[in-house]
Amino acid sequence: MKLQKQQKIHILGICGTFMGGLAALARSLGYQVSGSDKNVYPPMSTQLENLDITMHQGYDDSVLNQIYDEVVVGNVMTRGMPVIESLLNSQQYFSSGPQWLGDHLLRQKKVFAVAGTHGKTTTSSMLAWILEDNNQNPGFLIGGVAEDFGISARNTDADAFVIEADEYDSAFFDKRSKFVHYHADVAILNNLEYDHADIFPNLDAIKTQFHHFVRTIPNNGCIIINNEDKNLKEVIDMGYWSKMVTFGSNDLADVWAHAKQLDCSEFEIFNSDDTAVVKWNLSGKHNMLNGIAAMAAAREQGVSLKNSAASLEKFKGIKRRMEFIGEAQGIKIFDDFAHHPTAIATTIEGVKQSIGDRQLVAVFEPRSNSMRAGAHAHALPGSLTKADCAIVMNYPELKWQEGMVEKIAEAGIKQVASVEGLLSLLKDKCEKDAHVIFMSNGSFDNAPRRFLDLLKC
**Which range marks the domain in which residue 79 is found?**
8-98
- Same-domain status, 122 and 90: no
Least trusted range by pLDDT, from 2-16, 77-91, 104-118, 379-393 = 379-393
- Same-domain status, 158 and 33: no
Residue 317 lies in a domain: no
**Last-in-domain residue among 255, 285, 312:** 312
CATH classification of the domain holding 432: 3.90.190.20
Query: How are strands ordered across the β-sheet holding 274-279?
Result: 153-154, 139-141, 160-164, 110-115, 186-189, 222-226, 243-248, 255-259, 266-271, 274-279
Least trusted range by pLDDT, from 43-47, 66-70, 103-107, 316-320 = 316-320
Residue 12 lies in a domain: yes
Computed over every residue of the chain, the mean pLDDT equals 88
Nearest partner of 360 among 338, 376, 345, judged by Cα: 345
Residue 3 lies in a domain: no
Dihedral angle, C-alpha 348, 322, 166, 70, nearest 10 °: 160
For position 127, what pLDDT does the model report? 97
* Strands in 250-350 per DSSP E: 255-259, 266-271, 274-279, 323-328, 331-336
Residue 318 lies in a domain: no
- Predicted TM-score of the model (pTM): 0.78
Least trusted range by pLDDT, from 64-68, 227-231, 371-375, 407-411 = 371-375
Q: CA 48 to CA 63: how far, in whole Å? A: 17
Domain count, the chain: 3
Q: At what angle do helices 120-133 and 305-312 cross, to 10 degrees?
A: 110
Residue 41, class by beta-carbon neighbours within 10 Å (0-12 exposed, 13-18 middle, 19+ buried)?
exposed
Give the ranges where 163-256 is alpha helix by DSSP (H): 203-215, 230-237
Residue 356 lies in a domain: yes
CATH classification of the domain holding 290: 3.40.1190.10
For position 7, what pLDDT does the model report? 93
Quick: pLDDT tens for 408-441.
Answer: 777 778 888 888 888 888 988 888 888 999 988 7
CATH classification of the domain holding 34: 3.40.50.720
- Same-domain status, 341 and 438: yes
Residue 1 pLDDT more than 90? no
| Pair 83, 36: CB distance under 8 Å | yes
- Same-domain status, 39 and 124: no
Least trusted range by pLDDT, from 196-205, 216-225, 335-344 = 335-344
